[in-house]
């Protein structure tokens, strides 16, 4: 593994709130933006960083995650608000077209962003996710009821504390396929120590049920509007919905390269060198076409 790399903290102010992240690599190089999944944080990309020193890599914590601020007390975490966070970040930083890597929810947000704002996405790499989440239109009312009742329960619930970092790591492992080393990487950025014990930094409202989902027709239109060259890197033991999504959404992409690796949902943490090899090859291929 390369050893000559330095991880730096970065912060951005978006709409009066802080978005935190990590950065490394050649700050004069091409920007590569990494977007993490639900209830993860920027540290989930840390295993990739030693192999991405040719780029200026920035991995952000979504609002409510990691070290970023939570949304205001009268707000919630709608899926499309993540897309707004992204375009606000691009406009404040005056970023033009850059390469984006998204994992899980971050990949779904990136799909929607690439469709709506193609001028800002040079290439799109999706890790163990494709398209966006959908629901049958017949469940609209049921989804609305569940989502709003879920908000009420989250508003009155209290934070859980762990007696130690090890306890928090074990809890994270129980709800994912992460091994201990990778779970610790994510947990260390996503937890803080208080007088009562270790508590999660993430906003409790993130766990609320969404009161709405896009229909399949809407999701298909979003994917069909992605003009950006895209690649999917997914795992043989990852999310089952990815294989189904590939069949449904794959043919709708203008350009889609697909790689299947051995691993789980966090395959980019398990197989960082293999994932970076495919990211590099894909980006370089697009550079060659542009020449």
Total domains, the chain: 1
Tell me the pLDDT tens digit for each residue of 178-196: 999 999 999 999 999 999 9
Residue 167 is a catalytic residue: no
Residues, the chain: 291
Average pLDDT, the chain: 94
Residue 63 is predicted with a pLDDT of: 98
Quick check: 250 and 223 in contact, CB under 8 A? no
With respect to residue 38, please indicate whether it lies within any of the assigned structural domains. yes
* Backbone torsion region of residue 131, taken as left when φ is above 0, otherwise alpha when ψ lies between -120 and 50, otherwise beta: left
Strands 98-103 vs 256-264: parallel, antiparallel or unpaired: unpaired
Q: What is the pLDDT of residues 146-155, one digit of tens each?
A: 999 999 987 6
Alpha-carbon distance 110 to 100, whole Å?
7
Q: Which of 19-28, 30-39, 271-280 has the lowest mean pLDDT?
A: 19-28
Identify whether 234 is part of a domain: yes
CATH number at residue 24: 3.40.50.1820
DSSP reduced 3-state for 211 = coil
Residues 44, 68, 104, 208: which is the catalytic one?
104
**Residue 166 located in a structural domain:** no
Q: Is residue 74 part of a domain?
A: yes
Q: Is the predicted pLDDT of residue 8 greater than 90, yes or no?
A: yes
* pLDDT confidence of residue 40: 98
Task: Look up the domain containing 257 and give its range.
Answer: 8-136+214-290
Examine residue 152 and state whether it is found in any structural domain, yes or no.
no
Asked if 98 and 57 touch (Cβ cutoff 8 Å), the reply is no
In this structure, the number of other CB atoms found within 10 A of the CB of residue 4 comes to 6
The torsion region of residue 146 among left (phi > 0), alpha (psi -120 to 50) and beta comes to: alpha
Domain for residue 258, yes or no?
yes
- The kind and range of the H/E element at 124 are strand 121-127
pLDDT tens figures, 209-246 = 999 999 999 999 999 999 999 999 999 999 999 999 99
CB atoms within 10 A of CB 107: 28
In a domain, 142, yes or no: no
The reported pTM is 0.96
**What are the tens digits of pLDDT across the range 68-125?**
999 999 899 999 999 999 999 999 999 999 999 999 999 999 999 999 999 999 999 9
CB-CB neighbours of 192 under 10 Å: 10
| 96 found inside a domain | yes
CA–CA separation, 45 vs 103, rounded Å?
9
| DSSP per-residue codes, 32-82 | EEEE--TT--GGGGGGGGGG-TTSEEEEEPPTTSTTSPPPPTT----HHHH
How far lies 19's CA from each of 140, 143, 144, 243, in Å?
32, 30, 29, 32
What 90-95 contacts at long range (C-beta under 8 Å, 24+ apart), as own/partner pairs, is 90/117, 90/120, 92/12, 92/13, 92/14, 93/12, 95/31, 95/33, 95/120
| Residue 160: predicted pLDDT | 81
């Amino acid at each position: 593994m390369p050893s000559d790399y330095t991880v730096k903290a970065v912060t951005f102010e978006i709409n009066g709130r802080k978005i935190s992240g990590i950065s490394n690599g050649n700050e004069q190089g091409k920007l590569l933006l990494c977007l993490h999944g639900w209830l993860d944080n920027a540290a989930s990309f840390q295993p990739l960083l030693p192999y991405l020193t040719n780029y200026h890599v920035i991995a952000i914590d979504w609002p409510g995650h990691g070290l970023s601020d939570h949304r205001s007390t009268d707000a919630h975490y709608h899926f499309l608000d993540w897309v707004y966070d992204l375009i606000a970040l691009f406009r404040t930083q005056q970023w033009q077209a850059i390469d984006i890597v998204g994992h899980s929810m971050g990949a779904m947000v990136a799909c929607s962003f690439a469709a709506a704002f193609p001028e800002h996405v040079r290439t799109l790499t999706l890790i163990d996710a494709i398209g966006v989440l959908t629901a049958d239109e017949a469940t609209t009312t049921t989804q609305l009821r569940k989502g709003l009742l879920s908000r009420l329960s989250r508003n009155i619930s209290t934070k859980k504390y762990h007696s130690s970092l090890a306890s928090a790591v074990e809890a994270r492992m129980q709800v994912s396929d992460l091994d201990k080393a990778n779970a610790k990487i994510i947990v260390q950025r996503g937890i803080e120590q208080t007088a009562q014990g270790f508590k999660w930094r993430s906003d409790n409202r993130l766990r609320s049920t969404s009161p709405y989902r896009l229909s399949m027709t809407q999701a298909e239109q979003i994917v069909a509007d992605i003009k950006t060259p895209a690649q999917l890197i997914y795992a043989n033991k990852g999310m089952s919905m990815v294989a189904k999504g590939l069949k449904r959404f794959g043919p709708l992409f203008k350009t889609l390269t697909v790689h299947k690796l051995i691993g789980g949902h966090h395959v980019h943490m398990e197989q960082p060198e293999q994932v970076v090899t495919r990211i590099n090859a894909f980006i370089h291929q697009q550079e060659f076409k542009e020449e």
